[in-house]
Copies of this chain bind each other. A is one copy, B any other.
Amino acid sequence: MERIATRVTALLGTSYPIVQGGMIWVAGWKLARAVSDAGGLGLIGSGSMSPDLLREHITKLTSATDAPFGVNVPIFNRHADAFIEVCIACGVKIVFTSAGSPGKYTARLKDCGVTVVHVVPSARLAQKAAAAGCDAVVAEGTEAGGHNGFEELTSMSLWPAAVDAVPIPVIAAGGIVDGRGMAAALATGAEGVQLGTRFAVTVESSASEGYKAAAVKAAEADAKLYLRRYMPTRALVNPYVRQAMDAEAAGAATDVLDEIRGRGRARRGIFEGDAQDGEMEIGQAVGRIGDIPTAAQVVARLVSQYVETIASLNNTIGSSGVGDQQQLNRTDT
């Protein structure tokens, strides 16, 4: 396969500027290995692990591949301090931080020679990450699954704004499930992509079969952003999410929403496959996901469709009269 080179591939040491999101209950060492071995960057998602379990996943992944990989650490997590120290002790070279201030761990990680990438929902926070010394940012639009920014900036608004706001490379996330989305992201000036939902629905994902089946079945408007004023989260609509949304619409206070939410909802939804009462965190573009391929197949499709897409774009320029025969990029993915 052809290579795709940007500042992101140079930074991460990968063949392609493709990152697999470090999603809770989804991204263990098996998924990360599959993505890294296929030429992307696999991430272990620490957010649903204990520090000991994270160490185990890192150790297994280190033994299993020579390709670069990373770990995602949600800064608000009660184990975040321990996660960071586990990463450093295990010699992890790349850490993605999210959901918190980039000032908290960046200096410590950089002092240990770790590449740091921070996930942001706005250009303003991209600037904060750059100022904190991060090597790159993931600019994640509100169409992404899971926890989201309050600003609700969409990918098409956010990506080019982040690119213009910071000198460091921008990795685009939110709404990308194929090579057309990857080409769109790079057209806005991003130099890499991070995909969550697409990699969550693969053979190597730790998500339950129930979660994967629900994702394949979902229609275009089924992934809802809920808890908007409290803890914005995008998940598949189901009886639990509907109950929370109805309470929100009726003006429920935070403590009421907190009680409806309770604990362990994401585990129930993603890991246990409870389609009624679980929170199945998932991106808005889930309606365009129709199969459960291997992670390597996802990477290969992304690369080949990216190349095809750019060829189609080239064909739009400089001529006339071709428009009536031509239809760009119509593919079933």
Contacts and interface: CB of A to CB of B under 8 A. Distances in A.
A330 B284 contact: no
Contacts of A249: 229, 251
A5 B307 CA distance: 20
Interface string A1-28: 0111111111100010100000000000
Interface string A246-282: 0001111000000000000000000000000000000
A173 to B, nearest CB: 10
Most buried by B among A160, A176, A324: A160
A42 to B, nearest CB: 19
B5 A164 contact: no
A97 interface: no
A298 interface: no
Given A188-B180, A191-B327, A322-B5, A220 B153 contact: yes
A321 to B, nearest CB: 7
Interface in A175-205: 175-176, 178, 180-181, 183-191
Interface string A93-126: 0000000000000000000000000000011100
Contact of A310 (B220, B314, B326): B314
Interface class of chain A by DSSP: loop
Q: How large is the interface on A (under 10, 10 to 19, 20 to 34, 35 or more residues)?
A: 35 or more
B221 A323 contact: no
Interface in A146-184: 151-158, 160-161, 163-164, 169, 174-176, 178, 180-181, 183-184
Nearest to A322: B5
Contact of A189 (B151, B323, B330): B330
Given A155-B156, A161-B288, A326-B6, A183 B175 contact: no
A63 interface: no
A178 B187 CA distance: 11
Contacts of A318: 2-3
Given A9-B323, A322-B5, A156 B142 contact: no
Contact of A5 (B220, B285, B323): B323
A179 to B, nearest CB: 9
A327 to B, nearest CB: 6
Given A122-B220, A155-B156, 5 more contacts: A5-B316, A10-B321, A124-B220, A143-B154, A184-B184
Interface of A: 2-11, 15, 17, 122-124, 141-143, 151-158, 160-161, 163-164, 169, 174-176, 178, 180-181, 183-191, 220-221, 225, 229, 249-252, 284-285, 287-288, 306-307, 309-310, 313-314, 316-324, 326-333
13 contacts: A3-B317, A5-B316, A8-B323, A141-B154, A152-B221, A154-B284, A156-B175, A160-B180, A161-B220, A181-B188, A183-B313, A229-B249, A310-B314
